Amino acid sequence: MSCFLALFSKQSAIVLPVALVCWDLVHGGCPRLRTRAAWGALAPFVLLTVGYLILRLLLFSNAVREDLLGMGLVEQFLRRQPTYLVAALTGLERPVAGWDTLSVVLGLARLGGAFVVACVRRAVLPKGTWWRLLYLGPFWWLATVGPLAVVGYFTAHHLYLTSAGLALCCALLAWVPWDRGSRVARGSVAGGGLLLLLGSYALLRTTSGEWEAAGDFSSVIARDVREQLNAAPAGTLVVLGAPPTGSDPALRTWLWGFSSPFALLPPFSAVDFTQRAGVITRSEVHCCASQCADHVRSAVSTWRAAPGGLPVIVLGWDAGTQRLLKLTNQDTPGLRQQVEALLDAATAGDLSGGVDAVLMRLGENQARFRLD
């Protein structure tokens, strides 16, 4: 059951069968895998993983996003390793500067020093502990972070399995001095564990508070959007400036990122608001960034071609007070022409910049409107 839930939680769980085989090699050696019972115990995990990959292939025409894999994604993945490490250790999604020559040299020097120290102390560790640490540390990191090479975005949720290995690694390191029975050693382990728990609790409270605040803000946005769309004439074009994330880049609490158009459709709203008005957003708010430009062009073309000169409304929210900010073509000179000019954008990047320029007009009257 845990394997099933892991697979449908994050795709990186496809490495579990291989990880289990490697654990048997570390724990019991090759003879352990020579029995039929050992392979039979692994069979359910293999079957679940194969079934999951087949389901993905049928639903999305790819098993592991292999169609997206390229040198660009691989380079992005390698540059993101420091960010992964910070997120795994702290839970914060704070972007870390990519690798440079000095960082690589210093990193290799530190790894070399750690390896020397480990070799010196290897004799002090109980039998088998060294290999378990290598498995739960470096190997587990490579196995669970490796599948992220085909993912073009980052969130700390990708590191669920990775954090499990790190937690077990810490527990194993703590058990070595605890098992020796020294009062000083056990006191140090207990004190370190208490500090770790208190630090985690404090960080969790801060993070939970940010998510609760984001949820409240998202409810305000949803309420305001429903009210404005219900009051607007049918066919109105709405440029929606909902923020994709919260204000703290280290926590990356999600607001309306990737939510459009689903936030305007049942069951997330009582009615299908996309049938009442054309709603365009930034690509960060649209569910599928690669399709956002086509959606914007289609919505603007439909609105402009409609008879009677339908209105255009721009909606946003003050970043401090969460107050609704609103512009219409009736009270904002040049707004209609600026929106119509979106159709002249030559590239998706130009179109995205045009939408941003429209939204930034919300901040012209000293309002604290932000795009990110």
Cis peptide bond upstream of 261, omega within 30: yes
Longest C-alpha distance within the chain, in Å?
Answer: 85
pLDDT in tens, the chain (372 residues): 777 777 777 777 888 888 877 877 776 655 555 566 667 777 888 888 888 888 888 888 777 776 666 777 778 788 788 888 878 877 777 666 555 444 544 554 555 555 555 554 555 566 667 778 888 888 888 888 888 887 777 777 788 888 888 888 888 888 877 877 778 888 888 888 898 889 888 888 888 888 899 999 999 999 999 999 999 999 999 999 999 988 776 677 888 999 999 999 999 998 999 999 999 999 999 998 889 999 999 999 999 999 888 999 999 998 888 899 999 999 999 999 999 999 999 999 999 999 999 999 988 765 566 666
Rounded CA gap, 254 and 247, in Å?
10
Number of Cβ within 10 Å of residue 226's Cβ equals 15
For the chain, domain boundaries: 2-165, 211-363
Q: What is the pLDDT of residue 125?
A: 61
In the DSSP assignment, the letter for residue 334 is T
Rounded CA gap, 278 and 83, in Å?
38
Rounded CA gap, 211 and 246, in Å?
9
Question: Beta 312-317 vs 324-328: how paired, if at all?
Answer: antiparallel
Question: Beta 278-280 vs 237-240: how paired, if at all?
Answer: parallel
In the DSSP assignment, the letter for residue 156 is G
Rounded CA gap, 81 and 239, in Å?
36
Question: Beta 237-240 vs 312-317: how paired, if at all?
Answer: parallel
- Write the secondary structure of 18-55 as one string of H (helix), E (strand) and C (coil): HHHHHHHHHHHCHHHHHCHHHHHHHHHHHHHHHHHHHH
Torsion of CA 20, 21, 26, 27, to 10 degrees: 70
